[in-house]
Structure 1
Amino acid sequence: MGDEEWKRLNITKGRTSYSQERIWLDEPIRSTYTAKDENLYDYNYVKVYQIEDGFLSINRFRQSIENVIKRNEIFQTELDYSLDEHGIEQIIKKSNKLNDSFEITKVDVFDQDKINEIIYSEQITKHFDLNKGEIFRCHLLKQSNKDKNRLIKNDFILLIFHHSAIDNYSRFLFLKQLTSEYQNEKINLEENENQLRFIDYSYYERQLDLTKCEEFWQELFSDYSFKQRINLPYDNKLIFISSGSIYSFQIDKSLTRQIFRYKKKQNINFFRLFLSTFYCYLFKITQDTDFSVLGVTPNRYKSQLTNIIGPFENFIVYRHNLDPHQSFNQFIQTIDEFCTNIKENSFYPYQNLIAYARKFGSNQTPFSQVSLRVDIIDDQWNLDPENNLLLNEINLTNHREFKRETKLCPVDLTLNVKINLEKQTIQFYFEYANKLFDEKTIDTFADRFKKILEHLFDIQSNFDLDEEPIYKLSIILPYEESLINDLKVNDRPELTYR
């Protein structure tokens, strides 16, 4: 990769990054599905906040957003195919006005159905157009017209992004910059003028030598059968792509504390911890050992990229052949080393790996069965501490009132883990293809996953993490244990008394 510093370039036009290219090429494919069903949505990410305390100045907030957009040219970038470049091109069109992308709606904020309807309409919005650089919206929901320039307690802020402009970490950066702007913090303009932009990164990324990286991935999959499928217990016939549902579940506080303690003791990050656990879980429910789990990497492999807003994320395939005779602690060390090797080669474009898989007769989506996503979250936004302006995030993924069954679901089964470090909480949810799995099956999946967490981490568990092999882990549920015990009793030979 090299440690040389990348310089800011005086360009407003150039090839897209690999991630932009992947999104641009993927969107029309998914559009063939959303066109058949106007209720299906994809690629719109909505962050929903509700004011807990204080009040918000609408004019000041709008100006703050415009300043953030002005500072980050990714929000002023058009994507289109260039005949001259024989590829997808990005063009910066200077504009820092929100115009029609800033909307205010008067609504009864306690009308749950109406709020749900508005949020859903933003998730399927047709306002976005990549070819015109229209990739961000802000929608305010206020309960009163008495003060047109204020949002007050219980009012909502909806920030809507297209994935071509932003990734998970970038959303954190967006809120950080927006907070600074709203609090009128002074920005070092000279520093901003010299800061690397996303279009600069895209140029340098295209110059990277991928030879060694390609060799790593081809070696990882050298003995892999791309036509093989994990033996997941599907309820229905396989189809190419499905709508998706979300099933959230919780674990108790005691178990959560033990997971945090184990993570600290092993000095391993949460993604690697839950990847190890997920491998064990998949082994127990399928009896397979060779798994390709799709994951996401931040892909910010240079310190210069830390503060740039843009779609850096890359998909990574964590292919590992599990040894069920290892102890869990041995397995954790194996996965830690494995992930370190993956990280060093994580900038290899996902579309290149897909192309490689298709050379061997793979289907259109060779890594579409299982995936894992682990995110660090903060469910409160302290926008203006001086005026006690505090907002709570409405987490749509586990909010019972905002249940979704119409999102495109290109991966059959995804385990999502959301971790709040400050509050030391962990939230889980499965996102699943609802044409492949019945909800009852996913409910059982969740119970079995909780069971394996208890077996591994619960303080009352007698499973020896240093000595006992992985294959001895249990996902048998209490009612199944009762049935097994009943069968054992009934199978006993009758005793003969004399």
Structure 2
Amino acid sequence: MGDEEWKRLNITKGRTSYSQERIWLDEPIRSTYTVKDENLYDYNYVKVYQIEDGFLSINRFRQSIENVIKRNEIFQTELDYSLDEHGIEQIIKKSNKLNDSFEITKVDVFDQDKINEIIYSEQITKHFDLNKGEIFRCHLLKQSNKDKNRLIKNDFILLIFHHSAIDNYSRFLFLKQLTSEYQNEKMNLEENENQLRFIDYSYYERQLDLTKCEEFWQELFSDYSFKQRINLPYDNKLIFISSGSIYSFQIEKSLTRQIFRYKKKQNINFFRLFLSTFYCYLFKITQDTDFSVLGVTPNRYKSQLTNIIGPFENFIVYRHNLDPHQSFNQFIQTIDEFCTNIKENSFYPYQNLIAYARKFGSNQTPFSQVSLRVDIIDDQWNLDPENNLLLNEINLTNHREFKRETKLCPVDLTLNVKINLEKQTIQFYFEYANKLFEEKTIDTFADRFKKILEHLFDIQSNFDLDEEPIYKLSIILPYEESLINDLKVNDRPELTYR
């Protein structure tokens, strides 16, 4: 990769990054499905906050957003195909005003149905257009016209982003910059003028030599059958793409504490810990050993990239052939080393890996069966500490009032793990293709995953993490154990006395 520093370039036009290219090419494919099914939507990413304490100045907030957009040219970047470049091109068109991208609605904030309706309409909004650089909007929901320039307790802020135009870490950066602007912190203009931009990164990324990286991925899949499928217990016939649902489930607080302790003891990050656990789980429910789990990498491989807003994230495939005779602690070390090797080559464009898979007769959607996403979250936004302005994030995926059943779901089964480090909580979700799986099946999936977590980490578990092999892990549920015991009793031969 090299340690040389990348310099800011004097350009307003250039080839897109690999991630932008993938997104742009993927858009019309997704649209063909949403057009065919009026109930199927490719959701935008909506962050919903509700004021818990204090008040917000609307004028000041709007100006703060405009400053963040002015500072980050990704919000003023159009994408289109260039005949000259023979590829997708990005063009920066300067615009500092929100115009139609800022909306205020008077609403009864206690009318849950109305709030839900507004949030849903923002999730499926057609306002966004990559070709025009329209990827963000803000919608304020206020309960009173008494003070037109204020939001007060229980009012809502909706921040809506194009579903894939900026990545998860960029949304964190957006909030960080917005908070600084709202608190009137002075921005170093000279520093911003010299800072690397996303369009600069895109140029340098295209200059990278991918030869060694390509060799790594081809070696990883050298003995892999791209036509093989994981034997997931589907309820219905396989289809290419489906609507999706989200199923949330919780574990006991004591088990959560044990997982945090184990993670600290092993000195491993949460993604690698849950990837190891997910492999074991897939092995137990399928009896397969060779798994390709789709994952997401931040793809910010240089320190210069840590403060740039943009779509850096890259999909990568964690292909591993599990040895069921390893102990879990041995397996954790294996996966830790494996992920380190993956990380060193994680900038390889996902579309290149897909193209490689299709050379070997793979179907149209290789690596679309299982995926894992682990995110570190913070559900509070301390926007203005001096004035006690505190907002709570409404977690839509864990809220009964905001349940969604029509989300476009390109992966059959995704385990989503959200971790709050400050509160030491873990939330689990299965996002699943609801035309392939019945909810009762996912309910059983969740129970079995909780069972394997208990077997591995519960303080009362007698499973030896150092000695016992993975294949001895149990996903048998209590009612199944009871049934097995009953059958054993009934199968005993009758005793005869002479």
TM-score range, shorter chain: over 0.9
Matches of 2:87 and 2:158, distance apart in 1: 34
1:333 CA drift (Å): 0.1
Matches of 1:390 and 1:74, distance apart in 2: 28
Q: Secondary structure at the match of 1:375?
A: strand
1:404 CA drift (Å): 0.6
Matches of 1:187 and 1:5, distance apart in 2: 23
1:399 CA drift (Å): 1.1
1:22-72 CA-to-partner distances (Å, cap 9, x unmatched) read: 000001000001112233221511100000110000000000000000000
Q: Secondary structure at the match of 2:408?
A: strand
1:398 CA drift (Å): 1.2
Q: Secondary structure at the match of 2:492?
A: coil
Task: Tell me if the contact between 1:75 and 1:165 (Cα under 8 Å) persists in the aligned partners.
Answer: no
Matches of 1:483 and 1:39, distance apart in 2: 42
Between 157-166 and 421-430, the greater mean CA deviation after superposition: 157-166
1:159 aligns with 2:175: no
Q: Secondary structure at the match of 1:209?
A: coil
The TM-score, its normalising length taken from structure 1, stands at: 0.99
Q: Secondary structure at the match of 1:216?
A: helix
Task: Tell me if the contact between 1:40 and 1:124 (Cα under 8 Å) persists in the aligned partners.
Answer: no
1:119 CA drift (Å): 0.6
- What is aligned with 1:356? 356
Matches of 1:72 and 1:201, distance apart in 2: 13
Matches of 2:400 and 2:360, distance apart in 1: 43
1:406-465 CA-to-partner distances (Å, cap 9, x unmatched) read: 110000000000000000000000000000000000000000000000000000000000
1:133-189 CA-to-partner distances (Å, cap 9, x unmatched) read: 111000000110000000011110000011443100000000000000000001111
Matches of 2:333 and 2:179, distance apart in 1: 40
1:130 CA drift (Å): 1.0
1:436 aligns with 2:436: yes
1:366 aligns with 2:363: no
Task: Tell me if the contact between 2:250 and 2:428 (Cα under 8 Å) persists in the aligned partners.
Answer: yes
Q: Which runs of 4+ in 1 moved over 3 A?
A: none
Matches of 2:475 and 2:229, distance apart in 1: 22
Matches of 1:262 and 1:124, distance apart in 2: 40
1:456 aligns with 2:450: no
1:94-122 CA-to-partner distances (Å, cap 9, x unmatched) read: 00100000000111111111111111101
Matches of 2:70 and 2:120, distance apart in 1: 28
Matches of 1:152 and 1:472, distance apart in 2: 56
Task: Tell me if the contact between 1:80 and 1:131 (Cα under 8 Å) persists in the aligned partners.
Answer: yes
1:179 aligns with 2:179: yes
Matches of 2:141 and 2:163, distance apart in 1: 23
Between 453-462 and 41-50, the greater mean CA deviation after superposition: 41-50
Task: Tell me if the contact between 2:43 and 2:407 (Cα under 8 Å) persists in the aligned partners.
Answer: no
Matches of 1:377 and 1:222, distance apart in 2: 37
Matches of 2:269 and 2:448, distance apart in 1: 23
Matches of 1:322 and 1:150, distance apart in 2: 57
Task: Tell me if the contact between 1:244 and 1:432 (Cα under 8 Å) persists in the aligned partners.
Answer: yes
1:401 CA drift (Å): 1.1
Matches of 2:203 and 2:43, distance apart in 1: 24
Task: Tell me if the contact between 2:167 and 2:312 (Cα under 8 Å) persists in the aligned partners.
Answer: yes
Q: Secondary structure at the match of 1:108?
A: coil
1:351 CA drift (Å): 0.1
Matches of 1:42 and 1:197, distance apart in 2: 28
Between 37-46 and 363-372, the greater mean CA deviation after superposition: 37-46
Matches of 1:105 and 1:38, distance apart in 2: 26
Matches of 1:156 and 1:130, distance apart in 2: 27
Matches of 1:399 and 1:471, distance apart in 2: 36
1:400 CA drift (Å): 1.3
Distance 1:47 1:320, change over 3 A: same
Q: Secondary structure at the match of 1:304?
A: helix
Matches of 2:454 and 2:129, distance apart in 1: 47
Identity %: 99
Q: Secondary structure at the match of 2:36?
A: coil
- What is aligned with 1:76? 76
Matches of 2:346 and 2:73, distance apart in 1: 26
Task: Tell me if the contact between 1:101 and 1:136 (Cα under 8 Å) persists in the aligned partners.
Answer: yes
**1:251-330 maps to which residues of 2 (within 5 A)?**
251-330=251-330
1:244-266 CA-to-partner distances (Å, cap 9, x unmatched) read: 00000000100000000000000
Q: Secondary structure at the match of 2:329?
A: helix
1:168-225 CA-to-partner distances (Å, cap 9, x unmatched) read: 0000000000000000001111000000000000000000000000000000000000
Matches of 2:148 and 2:397, distance apart in 1: 32
1:303-343 CA-to-partner distances (Å, cap 9, x unmatched) read: 00000000000001000000000000000000000000000
Task: Tell me if the contact between 2:245 and 2:433 (Cα under 8 Å) persists in the aligned partners.
Answer: yes
Matches of 2:267 and 2:130, distance apart in 1: 42
- Count of residue pairs the alignment pairs up: 498
Task: Tell me if the contact between 1:163 and 1:311 (Cα under 8 Å) persists in the aligned partners.
Answer: no
Distance 1:19 1:43, change over 3 A: farther
Distance 1:351 1:290, change over 3 A: same
Distance 1:366 1:394, change over 3 A: same
Between 164-173 and 211-220, the greater mean CA deviation after superposition: 164-173
Matches of 1:221 and 1:78, distance apart in 2: 36
1:361 CA drift (Å): 0.6
Task: Tell me if the contact between 1:324 and 1:469 (Cα under 8 Å) persists in the aligned partners.
Answer: yes
Matches of 1:47 and 1:386, distance apart in 2: 24
- What is aligned with 1:17? 17
Distance 1:101 1:258, change over 3 A: same
Task: Tell me if the contact between 1:292 and 1:367 (Cα under 8 Å) persists in the aligned partners.
Answer: yes
Task: Tell me if the contact between 1:44 and 1:163 (Cα under 8 Å) persists in the aligned partners.
Answer: yes
Task: Tell me if the contact between 2:327 and 2:469 (Cα under 8 Å) persists in the aligned partners.
Answer: yes
Matches of 2:37 and 2:148, distance apart in 1: 37
Matches of 1:212 and 1:41, distance apart in 2: 39
Matches of 2:475 and 2:428, distance apart in 1: 17
Matches of 2:481 and 2:134, distance apart in 1: 56
